[in-house]
Amino acid sequence: MGKRIAANITGVAGYVPPKLLTNADLERMVDTTDEWIQQRVGVRERHIAEKGTATSHLATAAAQLVLEKTHTKPEEIDLIIVATVTPDMFFPATACLVQNRIGATRAWGFDLSGACSGFLYALTIGAQFVGAATHKKALVIGSDVMSSIIDYEDRNTCVLFGDGAGAVLLEHAESDSEGILDFQHDIDGSGGEYLFMPGGGSLHPPSHETLNQKMHYVHQDGKQVFKYAVRRMSEIACQLLERNGYSHQDVTLVVPHQANLRIIRAMQDRLGLEDSKILVNIDRFANTTGGTIPLGLCDAVSQGRLKKGDLVVLVAVGAGYTTGGVLMRWAY
């Protein structure tokens, strides 16, 4: 069995901007159809931030909600980690903006760029600090305004993404029967060419040329990403269960990254899990990148699909390639 991390998720909250972009709306923007999008991707609608609404605004809203739900004062927070690929700006970190807005005067923090696996990476990092008892309460947030880097003339990518954020509160776990039991993360940089945004960094700084060549948008080879995601999400989930002495029958719920419904179903088939054990909300939110898994946990809680002691698997694959998996006992 892997070394248990003495940290619990004691609260979860999500926030999405109110504006909806439906498949019918996209039909009027690009050469696509509602039927094609639902069959190939599984999305009906997605939430889109209004102009002037940034990643930090969504992250702040999610953070404030989880503080309210858990009756936690901002000054009790020791650490803030924001997983995002769409920060408001290169610096300061989005975590600094959130810390200031919520009044977490005692907290330090930083941003983490792990693409769609970023929230799980941030979760395990935060859990290490809390589990070691050097920090009492940590906020881990996944937040992205993907609409800011999507080309709405590219039908292959614009149907996939939405905007949203989710936040969890981490606290020390006293009981051996609760908390994060194990995690498995890896990267495969050879996949970087299949999902990336080429412009805006030190290699290709913003210029008229990068703008004209649409280098500040997401570029994706969907077939390559699909094959890798199906294989690695299944493998990571199986590894976590097997090395901790569990089988698929012991699992209460798998909360996967919501990139494509076909990826989720293919992973589900490989794991041999019934529908009741898979959280799916891609139809309502699309791929919110850092926000997908915490938004999924929010839905699981609100739908009564999680109770204290349940065995939960969180799993994601993202650009890089990055892969993340977390095995945990639900704490509340």
Which active-site residues does the annotation give? 116, 257, 287
Contact 62, 14 (CB under 8 A): yes
Angle at CA of residue 150, ends 256 and 84, nearest 5°: 50
Query: 53-84 burial by CB neighbour count: b if 16+ within 10 A, else e?
Result: bbbbbbbbbbbbbbbeebebebebbbbbbbbb
- Give the full edge-to-edge strand order of the sheet including 7-15: 7-15, 163-172, 137-145, 79-83, 108-112
Torsion from C-alpha of 189, 190, 191, 196, nearest 10 degrees: 70
CB atoms within 10 A of CB 128: 18
Contact 19, 45 (CB under 8 A): no
Give how far Cα 313 sits from Cα of 210, 260, 296, Å: 40, 18, 12
For residue 293, the number of C-alpha atoms closer than 13 Å in the C-beta half-sphere is 31
